Amino acid sequence: MNQLGITPEITTESVRQLFADVLGTEIRADLSFLAQGGDSFHAVLVVDHVEQLWGIEADFTAVLQSTPAELALLLGAAAGTS
């Protein structure tokens, strides 16, 4: 949830931007978090941001292994929006 109390939509682009914010680099939509320089420390940050933004718990392993598109689908399913 953001400062206005609005929960942003879970999309490939929103997850890609989240990865980019956490890793501080451009993110491709077709590569996994690990393949783009992610590690366990940064994955914990992604899990935390997901909970803050969308109020759902992201699976740590899924964050590490997923592309932004794959993670968006998983998170959407967990939130009941897919």
Going residue by residue through the chain (82 aa), what tens digit of pLDDT does each one get?
555 566 679 999 999 999 999 999 999 989 999 999 999 999 999 999 999 999 999 999 999 999 999 999 999 999 885 5
- Using a 10 angstrom Cβ sphere, with 0-12 exposed, 13-18 middle and 19 or more buried, the burial of residue 72 is buried
What is the per-residue pLDDT for 22? 98
Q: CB 28: neighbour CB atoms within 10 A?
A: 12
Nearest to 59 by CA among 32, 37, 46, 10: 46
Task: Report the candidate in 38, 33, 20, 78 with the shortest Cα–Cα distance to residue 54.
Answer: 78
pTM higher than 0.75? yes
77 contacts: CB under 8 Å, gap ≥ 6: none
Walk me through the domains of the chain, giving residue ranges and CATH numbers.
12-79 (1.10.1200.10)
Q: What does the pLDDT read at residue 1? A: 54
Q: What pLDDT, on a 0 to 100 scale, did the predictor assign at position 5?
A: 60
